[in-house]
Structure 1
Amino acid sequence: MSYFDNYEGRIQAETMEITVALICQHSSNNSNYKRIKEQVDHLIHRHEILFTGMHRKLDSLSIKINKNEKNRQDIIDDLLCHDLTIIFNHLIQNNNISWGKIITILAFSTFIARKHNDISDRIAYVTGQYIVKELTIWIKDHGGWVNLIKKNIY
């Protein structure tokens, strides 16, 4: 039996597929992708000012890195990805999870990746792994990704 022969494994695989397609701006044949993308794009448009402010705050942290540091950009990229997970943790603290918050995680990551296109694949990986690790059970218990597309989140 392979890892992806069970329902939870299929959710994890679908999570990574959807996350990479959204954040790296690739198309996907996944049946749930189009509806999720619509919700992500709607949320980005609706909260562009908020996301821009959060992006500026994340970028301002890079000023603290010594400009002569040999691996400065790698350190900045590491900090950005680390700070994303802190934001995600804050969003779902106390197990306060909802489809809207999952879409918010995807939307904010997509927004940040558009501003940092050179590391969009890394942002997709960090986001996908976060959702897989922290939210797979919740997604499974709430009907999987297919249940999300039946709901009007925003």
Structure 2
Amino acid sequence: MSYFDGEQGRTQAETMEIAVALICQLPLQQENYLRIKKQVDQIIHRHEILFTGMVRKLDSLSKTIDRNEMNRQDIIDDLLCRDLTRIFNCLIQNDNVTWGKIITIFAFSTFIARKHNDIADRIACVTGQYVVKRLTSWIRDHGGWDSMVFMDCTADTDSLNTLLTFSLTCIGLSLIGLFLVLR
């Protein structure tokens, strides 16, 4: 049995396809993708200030790394991916998953990728793998991508505020740890 066999495999394959197309801004005419893209664009527009603040905190990582450090970009990329995973974990803590939170994960990743186009593929990979590993069962149990009911995602605004607070804390701790390691 291969990685994408059966119903769960189809959900995983579609999830990766949607993540890569959204985050890397690739054209895809699949109906689910078009509906998700519309929701992602609405969330990005609605929460642009919040996302911008979060990206600024993530970007501050690159300023703390010694300019002469070998493999500097690899360190920045690894930290970004680790911090993205922490942010996603905070958003769905206690397995409190909703369609709005899944769309928010895609929206934030898409927003970051638009600001850092050079690593969009890496962001897409991290995000897609995260959703596949952590959320495929939930997506499948709730009817898959075809049955996704798009509600007004403003209901997740409190989650976004919690996400911002937690992510800023994580990023701050990462900066302190990085500073101590590079000293």
Aligned to 2:100: 100
69-78 vs 32-41, greater mean Cα deviation: 69-78
Provide structure 1 residue ranges, at least 5 long, that are not aligned to the other structure: none
Shift of 1:120: 0.2
Q: Are residue 5 (structure 1) and residue 40 (structure 2) matched?
A: no
Identity, % of aligned positions: 73
Aligned to 2:116: 116
Question: 1:3-152 residue pairs with structure 2 within 5 A?
Answer: 3-148=3-148, 150-152=149-151
**Residue deviations 1:42-89, cap 9 Å, x none?**
000000000000000111122221111011111111111111001000
Shift of 1:131: 0.1
Provide structure 2 residue ranges, at least 5 long, that are not aligned to the other structure: 154-183
CA contact (8 A) 1:99 1:153 kept: no
CA contact (8 A) 1:39 1:153 kept: no
CA distance in structure 2 between the partners assigned to 1:153 and 1:30 by the alignment: 22
Structure with the greater alpha carbon radius of gyration: 2
TM-score after normalising by structure 2: 0.80
CA distance in structure 2 between the partners assigned to 1:73 and 1:3 by the alignment: 31
Root-mean-square deviation (Å): 1.1
Q: State the AA in 1 paired with 2:34.
A: K
40-49 vs 58-67, greater mean Cα deviation: 58-67
Shift of 1:151: 2.7
Segments of 4+ moved more than 2 angstroms: 1-5, 150-154
TM-score after normalising by structure 1: 0.95
CA contact (8 A) 1:81 1:126 kept: yes
Query: What SS does the aligned partner of 1:70 have?
Result: coil
